[in-house]
Structure 1
Amino acid sequence: MMRQYELVERVLAYNPDADESLLNKAYVYAMQKHGTQKRASGDPYFAHPLEVAAILTDLKLDDATIAVALLHDTIEDTDATRAEIDEMFGTEIGRIVEGLTKIERLNLMSREEAQAENLRKLLLAISEDVRVLLVKLADRLHNMRTLEFVPVHKRARIAQETMDIYAPLAGRMGMQDMRNELEDLSFKVLHPEHYSAISSRLAAMESSSRDITREITDELQQHLASQGISAEVSFRVKSAWSIFSKIERKAIALEQLSDMIGFRVVVDNLWDCYRTLGVIHTNWKVVPGRFKDYISVPKHNDYRSIHTTIVGPGRQRVELQIRTREMHAIAEVGIAAHALYKDNISGDMTKLEAESQAYNWLRTTIAHLTEGDNPEEFVEHTKLELFQDQVFCFTPRGRLIALPRGATPIDFAYAVHTDVGDTCVGCKINGAVMPLITHLRSGDEVEIVRDANHIPPPNWENIAVTGKARSAIRRAVRLAAQHRAISLGEQVLAAVIEREGLEFSEEDVLALAAYFEMGDRRELIIGIGEGRVSADDLAREATALKGKRRRKGNITLPVGNDAEGWFALRQAEWFKFRMPGGQRSAIRQFAALVGFDFNMPVTVSREGAVPGDRLVGILHQSGTMTVYPIDSDALADYHDQDVGWIDVRWDLEGKPERYHKVSIALQSANRPGALAQISSAIAACDANISNLVMRALSSDFHEMIFELEVRDLPQLTDVLATLKRTPGLTRVARASVLQASAIEGMEKVFEHNGDSTP
């Protein structure tokens, strides 16, 4: 435990004019009042206010604030009174100590009016004197540092409370170091496995990067010194929580982050900031889109720096921050860096408001928030100010659910669990029955009304805004249709067997499924129920199978006259056509999509996607992402897998027109000239054929999988509509991933055979 003279020396080190007698008197008074009280760790209770005071000396705060830190628990936990503190230390210190005493434990997971009033008291006390916030943050920081001694059942609540309120408030006041530590300590409690994994990775990376960081630091200093710029170059490793939140926000893998280590250049004056930028950009290549000038346009919390990213030694990406020493002080300790507290000015906030945009924002916000009489609305609006990018709602049990703006109760239900979404029939928002199309707001408590027999209607897809909800709705609708098809298919199969007087075993059914190119019995039944296998065809083939009268023979496909320059190759009853020189490359459309980090390996699903399609990205554990159209059948496979669902959209503004690959599936009568007719119809829509795979369904019909190049969804719709009007085609639709993969399968056959241009 810090001794009395040690605390005084810490204050005198940065403020030689500090009132030593005030500090000594506060130290002795607090120690006597807390007496033999013990903390949960078994340490003397006085160790806590003493550590809070020590934290504030690191911020170089005035002696009055240090005295408040020593006294902040005396009125609440001892027999001390406000009158006694006023008499011994003055009304200013007494007012701040009493303000801190009135702020009881916050619990923002609760909807009780008393808790809303506690939050109101905190913000109002801060608006009157920001030192209330500084002491409260230091108090919470020390409590978080010793959270391991708190009973286990209380830790998560305290950590969540810290993450929800105290860390954002520290960030709003520009106190980034304190915010980082509060977030990391909370992160360690709330997500211990993620914290351990990221911390281990950071430690290993810092150890392995020592040589390159030293090289980068030396090169920077040499180049700046050669231009007569005096600068301090240092580097820092990002906090575990900031890395985790960036991974969650951008849906990327840890390995794909390029800015876990950042370099800081601190110079003497504003002019040197821009001179330094010129030197850096002259000697190294700049990473496009990674430059920000927060000196010209400061952040809301007074943060000012120039940010840029270069390709440094060893082709390493290097993130740089350039700032003056004054800017650096504000960036580290925020509002505490302003001169108000060093000058012992009290009562008049005019100077601080003029100097600090962050504090001016806070007072204006609080004045706006306190206009309402409803304390629950006060909590809601406060959260809305602290969390501007997302909507934060709560379940009746207090679980926090984060959703994008514009989210509805349908999105909320699917965020809780897929089963909750599928069985959702209504909702209550803050206790009132509301429509499912209601847009949720931060602070809403949402209760989902469920019916186990409910099936989501297809129009929900147009209401939901998250990719996971929309895909889950499509999956539920599709499964419901499959169940209906299975029921009907079983009835048709049983009726056919009975009508033909056949005795069918399970092996016979599997053989029948194989004939119709179905994978198993279930797929055959679904095909029958959906009408893809007619009752007449089923009866004919079932009779032939039982009578051993029919055997599948060789199938030939007329070629030569169908399309000049095209040729075929038979391989396991699959046929592939390609235009000469039509070598396919991997589908990558970085420039046309937004919603992910451009360092991430991204591919479009094999079936293809075109501008106009609604998209969803699946982030795999490998760190890669695959983009699918929202109606892709392949998305059903990911619902129960540990993957990330990312909302992705097209961004073509200002970009040159280009063609996008997409696959379509056709069923065509096997007759001369059919392929030429189809090709002509596609060409008439100004679309291009880049690949084709064909297989025989029977002696009379073929299935064709075309890979087309089109500009957008309207052009693709035109192609499909034209083909549907073409004689001889019985089915025209966009291909599934399984169907589109047939092209890739045949490419591998050619590669295996050493023939890249069949």
Structure 2
Amino acid sequence: MMRQYELVERVTRYNPNADEALLNKAYVYAMQKHGSQTRASGDPYFSHPLEVAALLTELKLDDATIAVALLHDTIEDTDATRAEIDELFGEEIGKLVEGLTKISRLDLVSRKAKQAENFRKLLLAIADDVRVLLVKLADRLHNMRTLHHMPESKRGRIAEETMEIYAPLAGRMGMQELREELEDLSFRTLYPDACHTITERLAQIHEKNATLISDIEADLTERLAERGINAVVSSRRKRPYSIFKKMQQKSLGFEQLSDIYGFRVILNTVESCYRVLGIIHTMWPCVPGRFKDYISTPKQNDYRSIHTTVVGPKRQRVELQIRTAAMHRIAENGIAAHALYKDGVTGGRNISTMTSDSRAYAWLRGTIDLLAHGDTPEEFLEHTKLELFHDQVFCFTPKGRLIALPRGATPIDFAYAVHTDVGNTCVGCKVNGRITSLVTELQNGDEVEIVRSQAQTPPPAWEDIVVTGKARAAIRRATRASARQQYGDLGRHILQRAYQRAEKTFEEAALEPYLGTFNCQTTADLLVSVGHGEVSANDVIKAVYPDFVSVVSDLSTNTLPAGTASEGWFDLDQNASVKFKVPGASPEDATDGCLPIRGMSSSLPVRFAPNGGAVPGDRIVGILTPGVGVTIYPIQSPDLKEFDDAPDRWLDVRWDIDPEMPSRFPAQISVSAVNEPGSLAAITGVVSECDGNIDNLKMIRKANDFHEMLIDVEVWDLKHLNRILNQLRAKSNVSQAKRVNG
């Protein structure tokens, strides 16, 4: 176990101005508090926080963080209190220790909702001070290194948690070395056989190629030296989990992998990096499509380097990474290598100073911003995991702004990455100057121009297209807001009609004293509940007017109450051209009260009746179903009988056909035909010749010589449907053709 003076020496080696008294006091306090406690391995428990502190000295972190590492388990596992730590070490260290204590109590691999809520707490604690994350990652690394001492029943859960949360989080913070070790340790536990096989193969390859690797290192170093370039060339071998992941993702066998070994060239200046790139490409032919310049376009986790693959000695593919020493430090240690911890400051500084310099921390802050928009914990976890696990592509706005996106992102993701308002109003795009579909997968270097319209709202179907958490969250928010607005408008119109039928005057303000009766916070909530069908209009009127006796009017006739002075028409479905008819509304209200509900895919569900649908030319009625939406029936539908006792659910509607935007509508027909060869072809041919579209067809054998067909067709209007029926009846092999609900 490391001695007290050894730990202090480690810190003062890279930070001569370290507060030695703080470190000594934290060492002694933690050792005394943990006392005779032991770990599962039988070692003194204090060895664990000491090893965590030692890991952080390798990252050259400030002395306050080292002290927190020593103390991080004291509140959770001893009789130490936050007040006591504040008094002895200061409020800043006390706050960090308490944040780590809360994280330690999280169970991130559990039921989905609990896991998601705990992950929220984890990121909130990290966002408050990134040093919480650095200590937690070191804590997790030491626990994974000693995982074999834990009961076997717990190892899988801890390894899964590490693989799903902590390893990718370390990667997003740019701490690649730590991420790779966490992944390999988890891989060893979760897939022991695969890990053993790959490790053995790697050992065999290394033994076979050891001479070749040393020859390439020496050859490259010598050639660069001849050109006056001082470079450090080193080889690196892919880790087992990285190989396993690539084999899984690309369905490759071990023999097909061409980049098991790679080489790093570390230089002093950025200019030297590009000089070396030119030298290497003149020495050995480069492999097309295997060049990436992360110096000019850094990754979101601050990673900067030039990647290229060449055909080297003995026709072997050689992968090279070219970077400066400063870039290498950040590539290995990420946010922990940031200048914030290299300036000799002994206490911590305001972590917000990091945001202007660190892309990684800016990403973390952006992720935390999702918490403020009311997403459920499950959605938040889903969004964050999407962003943790994706590689990136880099695209540009027409003005040259660089936008980093996950691989597989679409122009819709791009629009939301620019700004939420841009995404919500996106109607089209141009990629590299050409009009392109919004579902196109973007590639590195694409220039994307978003076409906008203020009349647009994002369709709910976009949620299944986008790949970024920000886009999904924004689409869900917009969908919910749109649905709430539409249900609220619908509820208002239902109440207006009910009040008029009751010969009462409707005023929204008059509803406020009765909100508690319906368990609503605001008048808007009550209107939404009425629109949903969760609260009936009659119940609202009875609450406001206790003496009111409801009158059941015959709405099945689709007539308006006597004495109606004027009618207002409100769009129910712009594509299907169906509108609400609200008695007593003025013509001006028809414009102001428009309900922008867009057909079957709308966030406010509007559908046509089963068993026949409805087509323009039919007299129609809308039926409101709680939790389902509005169903449009033709007035002659026998299914309407079941709603005779529910007058509040009936909505007066009418067709409003736009000749410039024709739409097809569903209907169902029944055809009885002779059972003979060619009969089906003749019937479907009639539908096709009449410009009808068959959506579904069901055969029902009634007798040996006849069979019945139920055909779901899409037609323009009632005249079109009747023309199809007349043409079918004219066929010699058809004995009967009729509309199912007609």
Shift in Å at residue 116 of structure 1?
2.9
Shift of 1:304: 0.5
Question: SS of 1:354's equivalent?
Answer: coil
1:216 lines up with 2:216 in the alignment: yes
1:510 maps to which residue? Answer: none
Aligned equivalent of 2:364, options 358, 362, 373: 362
SS in 1 for 2:104: coil
Structure 1, unmatched stretches of 5+, are 391-403, 407-434, 444-758
Partner of 1:66: 66
**1:90 aligned onto 2:106:** no
Asked if the contact 1:31–1:46 (Cα under 8 Å) also holds between the matched residues in 2, the reply is yes
Structure 1 residue 317, shift from structure 2 partner:
1.1
Seen in structure 2, the aligned counterparts of structure 1 residues 312 and 130 have a Cα distance that, compared at 3 Å, is same
Classify the secondary structure of the residue corresponding to 1:319.
Answer: strand
Q: Could you tell me how far 1:369 is from its partner in structure 2?
A: 3.2
User: CA shift at 1:110, angstroms?
Assistant: 2.5
Q: Aligned residue for 1:384?
A: 386
SS in 1 for 2:341: coil
**Deviation of 1:113 (Å):** 4.3
One-letter amino acid of the structure 1 residue matched with residue 357 of structure 2: E
Aligned partners of 1:105, 1:261: CA distance in 2, in Å? 40
Q: Residue 313 of structure 1 aligns to which amino acid in structure 2? A: P
Cα distance in 2 between the residues matched to 1:314 and 1:166: 40
Equivalent residue runs for 1:165-204 within 5 Å: 165-204=165-204
In percent, how many aligned pairs have the same letter?
A: 67
Instruction: Sort the Cα spacing of 1:206 and 1:172 in 2 relative to 1 into closer, same or farther, 3 A.
Output: same
Check the 8 A contact 1:311/1:318 in 2, yes or no.
yes
Aligned residues: 403
- SS of structure 1 residue aligned to 2:355: helix
Query: Could you tell me how far 1:222 is from its partner in structure 2?
Result: 1.2
CA distance in 1, matches of 2:386, 2:464: 17
What is the aligned partner in structure 2 of residue 338 from structure 1?
A: 338
Q: What amino acid does structure 2 have at the position aligned with 1:58?
A: E
Distance 1:229 1:112 in 2: 54
The structural deviation recorded for 1:375 is 2.4
Where do 5+ consecutive residues of structure 2 fail to align? 393-407, 411-460, 470-742
SS at match of 2:373: coil
Counterpart Cα distance in 2 of 1:154 and 1:360: 34
Is 1:146 aligned to 2:146, yes or no?
Answer: yes
Question: Match of 1:316?
Answer: 316
1:424-503 equivalence runs, <5 A: none
Cα RMSD between the aligned structures? 2.5
Counterpart CA distance in 2 for 1:83 and 1:114 is 29
2:376 to 374, 395, 401: 374
Question: For residues 295 and 361 of structure 1, what CA distance do their matches in structure 2 show?
Answer: 19
Question: Could you say which residue in structure 1 is the equivalent of 2:37?
Answer: 37
Distance in 2 separating the partners of 1:259 and 1:114: 40
Question: Does the aligned pair in 2 maintain the 1:383–1:442 contact within 8 Å?
Answer: no
**CA separation of 1:295/1:81 partners in 2, compared to 1, >3 Å: closer, same or farther?**
same
Query: Corresponding residue for 1:119?
Result: 119
Shift of 1:442: 11
Residue number in structure 2 paired with 1:7? 7
SS in 2 for 1:378: helix
Distance 1:337 1:442, change over 3 A: closer
2:195 and 2:466 map into 1 onto residues whose CA distance is: 31
SS of alignment partner, residue 37 of structure 1: coil
Structure 2 residue 284 is matched with structure 1 residue 281: no
Offset of 1:204 from its aligned partner? 1.7
Paired letter, 1:135: V
Q: Which aligned pairs between 1:622-661 and structure 2 lie closer than 5 A?
A: none
Match of 1:266 in 2: 266
| 1:475-624 alignment, distance < 5 Å | none
Q: What is the CA–CA distance in structure 2 between the aligned matches of 1:438 and 1:350, rounded to whole Å?
A: 35
Report how far residue 359 of structure 1 moved: 0.6
1:253 is matched with 253
Read off the aligned partner of 1:333 and give its amino acid letter.
Answer: N
- Superposed displacement of residue 332, structure 1: 0.4
| Distance verdict in 2 for CA 1:64–1:438, change over 3 Å | closer
Per-residue CA shift, 1:471-506, capped at 9, x if unaligned? xxxxxxxxxxxxxxxxxxxxxxxxxxxxxxxxxxxx
User: Could you tell me whether the CA contact under 8 Å between 1:380 and 1:442 is conserved in 2?
Assistant: no
Structure 2: distance between partners of 1:438 and 1:278: 44
How many angstroms does 1:283 deviate by? 1.3
Q: Write the letter of the residue equivalent to 2:62.
A: D
Q: Give the Cα separation in 2 of the matches to 1:337 and 1:225.
A: 29
Q: Distance in 2 between the 1:405 and 1:274 partners?
A: 30
Cross-structure match for 1:18: 18
Structure 1 residue 131 displacement after superposition: 0.4
In the other structure, the counterpart of 1:508 is none
User: Does structure 1 conserve the Cα–Cα contact (< 8 Å) formed by 2:173 and 2:335?
Assistant: yes
Q: Deviations over 1:366-398 (max 9, x none)?
A: 1123422532332222223223479xxxxxxxx
2:163 is aligned with 1:163? yes
User: One-letter code of the match for 1:374?
Assistant: T
Q: 1:320 to 1:148 in 2, by over 3 A?
A: same
Once the two structures are superposed, what CA deviation does each residue of 1:157-176 show, in whole Å capped at 9, x if it has no partner? 11000000000000000000
Cα 1:352–1:441 shift into 2, 3 Å: closer
Check the 8 A contact 1:176/1:331 in 2, yes or no. yes
Q: CA deviation at 1:349?
A: 2.8
8 Å CA contact retained: 2:64, 2:348: no
Q: 1:177·1:332 contact (CA, 8 Å) conserved in 2?
A: yes
AA at the equivalent of 1:61 = L
How far residue 246 of structure 1 moved from its aligned partner, in angstroms, is: 0.5
The residue type equivalent to 2:126 in the other structure is: I
2:130 and 2:351 in contact (8 A); partners too = no
Give distance in 1, aligned partners of 2:238 and 2:348: 36
SS of structure 2 residue aligned to 1:318: strand
> How big is the shift at 1:347?
4.4
Q: Assess if the C-alpha contact under 8 Å between 2:217 and 2:234 holds in 1.
A: yes
Is the Cα contact below 8 Å between 1:111 and 1:376 reproduced in 2? no
Task: Return closer, same or farther for 1:377/1:211 CA change in 2, 3 Å cut-off.
Answer: same
**1:352 is the counterpart of 2:354:** yes
With normalisation by structure 1, the TM-score equals: 0.51
1:329: how far off? 0.2
Shift of 1:351: 2.8
Q: CA deviation at 1:439?
A: 8.6
Paired with 2:233 and 2:29, the residues of 1 have a C-alpha distance of 44
Partner of 1:52: 52
The change in CA–CA distance for 1:208 and 1:368 in structure 2 (over 3 A counts) is: same
Partners of 1:38 and 1:228 lie apart in 2 by 56
| 8 Å Cα contact 2:263/2:320 also seen in 1 | yes
| CA separation of 1:442 and 1:279: change in aligned 2, threshold 3 A | closer
Question: What code does the residue aligned with 1:371 have?
Answer: H
Q: Is the 8 A contact 1:137 1:170 kept in 2?
A: yes
Given that 1:96 and 1:132 are in contact with CA atoms closer than 8 Å, whether structure 2 keeps it comes out as yes
Q: Where does 1:727-746 land on structure 2 (aligned, <5 Å)? A: none
Residue type of the alignment partner of 2:371: L
Measured in 2, the distance between the counterparts of 1:214 and 1:387 equals 34
Indicate if the aligned counterparts of 1:217 and 1:234 stay in contact, CA closer than 8 A.
yes
2:321 match: secondary structure: strand
Shift of 1:109: 4.0
Q: Which amino acid aligns with 1:368?
A: L
Partner of 1:230: 230
Map of 2:79 onto structure 1: 79
Deviations 1:124-146 (A, max 9, x none): 11111100000000000000001
Partners of 2:209 and 2:139 in 1: how far apart? 36
Distance (Å, rounded) in 1 between the aligned partners of 2:465 and 2:339: 44
C-alpha separation between the residues in 2 aligned to 1:226 and 1:388? 41
State whether residues 174 and 360 of structure 2, in contact with CA within 8 Å, keep that contact through their aligned partners in structure 1.
yes
Distance 1:405 1:358, change over 3 A: closer
Alignment of 1:127-146 (within 5 A): 127-146=127-146
How big is each residue's C-alpha offset from its partner over 1:64-97, in whole Å with a ceiling of 9 and x where there is no partner?
1100000000000000011111111111111100
